[in-house]
């Protein structure tokens, strides 16, 4: 994704390959997902919101937990640095994505020359 400050719900849903309605649902279920809204109700997600969505996405879509299971997991593991570990996973995925983009740019330059 580009280095925007705010992302619209369509951008976020495309990145995580989920419906916008699911993002709105997660927003209701997880208080730490809290995008800014303008007067028309358009949601604007920050990088921190994206990181929080990545954590929920990892727990629900990749680990297969239910919404309630993810809530309990996060609540029970607060003191065990689990959230920190999940944030490390998010950072590593973002780093892999960045490195992949760099590789693509370098491959394209090599092909052109």
Instruction: Count Cβ atoms below 10 Å from residue 22 Cβ, excluding itself.
Output: 16
How far is 1 from 37, CA to CA, in rounded Å? 21
| Structural domains of the chain in order of their starting residue, each with its CATH number | 7-112 (1.10.1660.10)
How far is 13 from 71, CA to CA, in rounded Å? 21
The residue among 27, 84, 74, 73 whose CA lies nearest residue 50 is 27
Query: What percent of the chain stands above pLDDT 70?
Result: 87
Q: pTM for the whole thing?
A: 0.68
pLDDT in tens, 46-56: 988 988 898 89
pLDDT in tens, 76-101: 776 556 666 777 777 888 888 889 88
Q: In the chain, how many H helices and how many E strands?
A: 5, 3
């Amino acid at each position: 994704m580009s280095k925007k400050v705010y992302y619209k719900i369509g951008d976020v849903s495309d990145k995580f390959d989920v419906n916008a309605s699911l993002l709105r649902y997660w927003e209701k279920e997880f208080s730490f997902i809290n995008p800014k809204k303008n007067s028309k109700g358009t949601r604007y997600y920050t990088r921190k919101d994206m990181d929080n969505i990545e954590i929920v996405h990892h727990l629900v879509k990749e680990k297969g937990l239910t919404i309630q299971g993810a809530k309990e997991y996060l609540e029970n593991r607060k003191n065990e640095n689990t959230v920190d570990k999940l944030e490390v996973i998010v950072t590593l995925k973002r780093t892999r994505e960045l490195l992949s983009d760099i590789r693509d740019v370098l491959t394209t330059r090599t092909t052109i020359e």
